[in-house]
Amino acid sequence: MLRMKITVCREAHFNSAHRLHNPNWDEERNKTIFGKCNNPNYHGHNYDLIVKVTGDIDEETGYVMDTKVLKDLIEERVIECFDHKNLNLDTEEFKNLNPTAENIAKIIYEKLRGGIQKDLALRITLYETRRNYVEYGE
Amino acid sequence: MLRMKITVCREAHFNSAHRLHNPNWDEERNKTIFGKCNNPNYHGHNYDLIVKVTGDIDEETGYVMDTKVLKDLIEERVIECFDHKNLNLDTEEFKNLNPTAENIAKIIYEKLRGGIQKDLALRITLYETRRNYVEYGE
Amino acid sequence: MLRMKITVCREAHFNSAHRLHNPNWDEERNKTIFGKCNNPNYHGHNYDLIVKVTGDIDEETGYVMDTKVLKDLIEERVIECFDHKNLNLDTEEFKNLNPTAENIAKIIYEKLRGGIQKDLALRITLYETRRNYVEYGE
Amino acid sequence: MLRMKITVCREAHFNSAHRLHNPNWDEERNKTIFGKCNNPNYHGHNYDLIVKVTGDIDEETGYVMDTKVLKDLIEERVIECFDHKNLNLDTEEFKNLNPTAENIAKIIYEKLRGGIQKDLALRITLYETRRNYVEYGE
Amino acid sequence: MLRMKITVCREAHFNSAHRLHNPNWDEERNKTIFGKCNNPNYHGHNYDLIVKVTGDIDEETGYVMDTKVLKDLIEERVIECFDHKNLNLDTEEFKNLNPTAENIAKIIYEKLRGGIQKDLALRITLYETRRNYVEYGE
Amino acid sequence: MLRMKITVCREAHFNSAHRLHNPNWDEERNKTIFGKCNNPNYHGHNYDLIVKVTGDIDEETGYVMDTKVLKDLIEERVIECFDHKNLNLDTEEFKNLNPTAENIAKIIYEKLRGGIQKDLALRITLYETRRNYVEYGE
């Protein structure tokens, strides 16, 4: 039988304020494109994050990657930076980058990629609300 | 058989920024009590709201209260006021009231109570996160 | 310590077609009150049902009521009657009763009440959609 | 770094009646194959729909596709056609096509495909019940 | 306006092995009553626990009870004792008490009651599976 | 139009006890790697299983595969073997294989593969908890 890859998935959560805004546009264009998400006083979300790591099963442990290790990595590199923060004001990453769900997922991917073995694939799912979410990665 | 009351429940959602803060306390005491919820730049939540109305079934309609009417009332009196808003900065209700889940639930109760017939009981459930929620009302 | 009652809850599901209609009203009034729920060709729902039974814990079994017995009772008296049925056309109960969520919950209560010991309280929760549900019983 | 695609996902809901039936078969064969789903008086479901659109992030907006635009497209092309309808009787699409979850997903794909830019991939997930669902698309 | 009580609710989780068994009964009666839950080698569950505390809102904090304090209390008195344990073998509480959902809820109530102010009411909801759960308390 | 494959998905559940352990390691190494999952008296989970089958839609039935057939296959080959069992003690498959989520998913894949037509792809998703899950298959 062909040796298929297996994926382990770990869910985490953070609660942040943000606003969508492009500083190169005037106020009117920002309002037209981003609507109520452009509110200058910010609004917020409970972000649900799923991190997926794909590779081979280690024969000694039966693990692709120890999910306790993955949980701690997510905690340290993502939750501590973004939880109970204002993404636009309190983080370096979104000082000059619009914190859309797409861009947040991409930044989370980049923050985690270095902490995971190179031969493992990484994929991010980020729920902004129960009805809106994005997927990014290998 | 005894005539028992029946309850109709309607769920709605809004996304807001807030911070917990007591202006009568100094900064240190605010940090001790409210922790990271005291972040001066705000954080945010997807609030899940359940509104419960209890009364008798109307024999002609088979309804306690038309849930379309209830949905519109929630939309008009709660969602339009709080969705994509900063509760501390953008609303009258929380200018001088700490926007804890408890106080938000109480305010929502008061905003809806006048729009619902007096002989119907009203009860509010408000989820701040999947793991933290409050219940208030008759 | 005071002897408090305990409640056991069992969830079940059924999928049915229905329409809301009052035969004593003309077509226009039916449309005004029931809107798209009045569609003469029917629409349908996945109903999620929660049955709650409250009483004392039996010291020998550690049960209020065996949930396998409760599961079979729900299966036999509710699911077999309503699942994959048209409530208006295929059931006796709604030949002359408007199948609103309120009335369906009441009928389910009556169908189950006789199968459960008199000293146990019975309460029904019925979800018509994730956002609309009703509660009925002791 | 390699430029990876990103996917935005939007959930929507509709409630419909349907029956499974192949007009080229006799009644007995229909009953054998489709069981209680063949009930001539119809049954129904709350369909949960997830629409996934994959492409590059637009640098100006930070979006792959504005989810408000996606939401309106789903509303107009899917929800207005199927919600509170009898799929077999009230829609053109299923007059001569058996409304299995597979076929409904395929039709939804076709109805949406024309409204979405050609360089964006489209994928449909359709839940018929919490336990049964299908996936279709690029 | 009448001063209504408010309820704060906190969710937690633990994963345990258990078996249902009455040592005063012979093997056959245990099998008849408890079925596959009587398996001598144990089976297990992800228990979802909701703790509800009811009282007045403190005017200074806007809290009924600080949910961080409640979270730590649940962690210390329940999760550390039951998580990743065999309830029958690894805990004092169920050495001589059948670990039905009813009895587990009652024990959790008793373990938490002493850590919560006397003027606050306490209520426990315990999910053994998504479809089976119990409620206990004031 | 290109003929795309479609995937049907079916969810099922089982409740089992297990422990993680490598018999080639000493006790200390087992504790270091597997932590509280190494508890010699076992702990347990509600496993949520999603089975995905991908292929073409049969023109006569409108099905990829009859989900009733898939449901029965899962029931017979997986649920009857693992539900209310101790995976380490009561099953042949995990006598000499560590029952991590990864290995359980792989075994479920192998148990189902023979019962599904060769031209259909098979993929397994297995939730150990709401926050930890794995994916395996074609």
**Tens digits of residue pLDDT in E18-76:** 999 999 999 999 999 999 999 999 999 999 999 999 999 999 999 999 999 999 999 99
Give the 3-state secondary structure percentages of chain D, helix then strand then coil, rounded to 5. 35, 30, 40
Q: Which two tokens stand for residue D138?
A: 């690029």
Inter-residue contact E126 to E102 (CB < 8 Å): no
Chain C CB contacts of D43 below 8 Å: 15-17, 44, 83-86
What is the count of structural domains for chain F?
1
Residue D1 lies in a domain: no
Residue A56 lies in a domain: yes
**Extended strands (E) in chain E:** 6-18, 43-55, 85-86, 121-127, 132-137
Q: Tell whether D8 lies on the interface with C, counting CB pairs under 8 A.
A: no
- Examine the pLDDT at B137 and tell me if it is beyond 80: yes
Residue F71 lies in a domain: yes
- Examine the pLDDT at C3 and tell me if it is beyond 80: no
Instruction: Report pLDDT digits (tens) over A53-112.
Output: 999 999 999 999 999 999 999 999 999 999 999 999 999 999 999 999 999 999 999 999
Chain E CB contacts of F16 below 8 Å: 43-44
Chain B CB contacts of C131 below 8 Å: 10-12
Read off the pLDDT of each residue in D129-133 and give the average, rounded to a whole number.
Answer: 97
Interface mutation vs chain A, best among D3, D5, D7, most A CBs within 10 Å: D7
Of C18, C43, C90, the CB nearest to D85: C43
pLDDT, position F1: 43
What subunits touch chain C, counting only 3 or more CB pairs under 8 A? Answer: B, D, E
Mean pLDDT of chain A: 96
Of F25, F98, F135, the CB nearest to A6: F135
Read off the pLDDT of each residue in D2-12 and give the average, rounded to a whole number.
Answer: 90
Inter-residue contact D11 to C56 (CB < 8 Å): no
Q: Name the catalytic one among C18, C21, C37, C81.
A: C37
* B-D interface (Cβ pairs under 8 Å ≥ 3): no
Closest by CA to F100, choosing from F34, F31, F9, is F34
Closest by CA to F16, choosing from B88, E92, E55, E46, is E46
* Angle of CA points A121, A126, A127, to nearest 5°: 150
Mean pLDDT of chain B: 96
Q: Name the catalytic one among D21, D45, D81, D128.
A: D128
Residue % of chain F over a pLDDT of 90? 97
pLDDT, position A1: 43
Closest by CA to A62, choosing from E109, F19, C104, is F19
pLDDT, position C1: 43
Are the beta carbons of F11 and D135 separated by less than 8 Å? no
Are the beta carbons of F13 and E39 separated by less than 8 Å? no
Of B20, B22, B135, the CB nearest to E6: B135
pLDDT, position D1: 43
Q: Tell whether C19 lies on the interface with B, counting CB pairs under 8 A.
A: no
Instruction: Report pLDDT digits (tens) over D56-68.
Output: 999 999 999 999 9
Closest by CA to C78, choosing from C57, C53, C49, is C49
Instruction: Report pLDDT digits (tens) over B16-33.
Output: 999 999 999 999 999 999
- Examine the pLDDT at E84 and tell me if it is beyond 50: yes
- Examine the pLDDT at E1 and tell me if it is beyond 50: no
pLDDT, position D2: 54
- Distance from the Cα of A116 to chain F's closest Cα (Å) equals 17
> Confidence band (pLDDT; 50, 70, 90) for E2?
low
Chain E CB contacts of B19 below 8 Å: none
Please report the ipTM that was assigned to this predicted complex.
0.94
- Examine the pLDDT at A14 and tell me if it is beyond 70: yes
Chain B CB contacts of A83 below 8 Å: 36, 43
Minimal-distance CA residue of chain F relative to A69: F33
Are the beta carbons of D135 and F9 separated by less than 8 Å? yes
Chain C CB contacts of E24 below 8 Å: 60
Neighbours of B43 (CB within 10 A): 28
Residue B20 to residues A13, B32, B132, D105, F69, Cα–Cα distance (Å): 20, 12, 15, 45, 54
- Examine the pLDDT at E3 and tell me if it is beyond 90: no
3-state secondary structure of B130: coil
Range of the domain at C110: 6-137
What subunits touch chain F, counting only 3 or more CB pairs under 8 A? Answer: A, D, E
pTM above 0.90, yes or no: yes
Residue B1 lies in a domain: no
- Examine the pLDDT at C58 and tell me if it is beyond 90: yes
Whole-number Å distance between alpha carbons of E17 and F17 = 5
C37: domain CATH number is: 3.30.479.10
Amino acid at B41: N
Residue D108 lies in a domain: yes
Read off the pLDDT of each residue in D67-86 and give the average, rounded to a whole number.
Answer: 98
Residue F1 lies in a domain: no
Looking at the annotation, which residues of E are catalytic? Answer: 37, 84, 128
Between A and B, how many residue pairs show a Cβ–Cβ distance under 8 A?
A: 79
Whole-number Å distance between alpha carbons of B106 and B117 = 18
Residue E15 lies in a domain: yes
Whole-number Å distance between alpha carbons of E2 and B93 = 20
Are the beta carbons of F43 and E18 separated by less than 8 Å? no
Q: Tell whether D21 lies on the interface with F, counting CB pairs under 8 A.
A: no
Are the beta carbons of F8 and D138 separated by less than 8 Å? no
Residue C1 lies in a domain: no
pLDDT, position A48: 98
Residues 53-112 of B with CB under 8 A from A: 83-86, 89-90
3-state secondary structure of A38: helix
Backbone angles phi, psi at C42, to 5 degrees: 75, 160
| Burial letters E57-70, b for 16+ CB under 10 A, else e | beeebbbbbbbbeb
Q: Tell whether B121 lies on the interface with C, counting CB pairs under 8 A.
A: no
Chain C CB contacts of E131 below 8 Å: 10-12
Q: Which long-range contacts (CB under 8 A, 24 or more apart) does D115-118 make?
A: D115/D73, D115/D77, D116/D53, D116/D65, D116/D70, D116/D73, D117/D55, D117/D65
Looking at the annotation, which residues of B are catalytic? Answer: 37, 84, 128
Of E16, E43, E90, the CB nearest to F84: E43
